[in-house]
Chain A
Amino acid sequence: QVQLQESGPGLVKPSQTLSLTCSVSGGSISSASSYWTWMRQHPGKGLEWIGYIYYSGNTYYNPSLRNRVIISVDTSKDQFSLKLSSVTAADTAVYYCARRGSGRHFFDLWGLGTMVTVSS
């Protein structure tokens, strides 16, 4: 069965770029018509949708983060990535990767999440 796993630095300095990767195992990232998604959860808060990339390459971003976010996909490695630039302490959160199926309006597969702290 398909599984997702996030990876990346747990500590990022203010003003730098946060970079995370989500590895898709048990299936091909390009064979499924899916939206490969990034979410985050600030400490003690609810979930926030960051954005997603369709398997074809089209991207969709949360308007509040659009100026700082890039989501990309590497089909050769069955991975997709998140880059969030100019981070501040407000970007400290648990970051999750997830999957939304094409034509569907829910997220049916999630990773375990990875904590990222922004601090000098």
Chain B
Amino acid sequence: QSALTQPASVSGSPGQSITISCTGTSSDVGGYDHVSWYQHHPGKVPKLIISDVNSRPSGVSNRFSGSKSGNTASLTISGLQAEDEADYYCGSYSGTSTYWVFGGGTKLTVL
């Protein structure tokens, strides 16, 4: 069982918006503004899409956005496109004892 809880799957139609949640504890998500999100197309290299809760690395579409409230972080993808269909993982720094925790991943299906 993963340290961070994500829904196993979400779906949406092209053009719609979806949100993926990532729930942790006050020791990880709630305790640090160091939540990151990764997009993984099977068979390809995982890609960082959000860092430090809501920062987008250079080159990442502004359709991707992140936020956090308490112990839950969220990834929102607006204007869904077929190419967004992938697995999405959240990760959080969790201090100098356990260092890093991740979610179980969410499979996004674009209908």
Interface string of A81-102 (1 = CB under 8 A from B): 0000000000000001010000
How many residue pairs bridge A and B at CB < 8 Å?
A: 58
Give the size of the chain B interface in residues (CB under 8 angstroms): 28
Given contacts A96-B46, A108-B48, A110-B46, contact A49 B99 (CB under 8 A): yes
Considering only CB atoms, which chain A residue lies closest to B2 in the complex? A46
List the B side residues contacting A105 at CB < 8 Å.
32, 34, 36, 51-52, 93
Residue numbers in A under 8 Å from B51 (CB-CB) = 104-106, 108
Which one of B47, B52, B105 contacts A46 once the chains associate, using CB atoms below 8 Å? Answer: B105
Whether the Cβ atoms of A60 and B99 lie closer than 8 Å is yes
Contact A47 B93 (CB under 8 A): no
User: A106 and B91 in contact (CB under 8 A), knowing A46-B104, A46-B105, A49-B102?
Assistant: yes
Q: A11 within 8 Å of B by Cβ?
A: no
Within 8 Å by CB of B44, from A60, A106, A112, lies A112
- In this complex, what residue of A is CB-closest to B48? A108
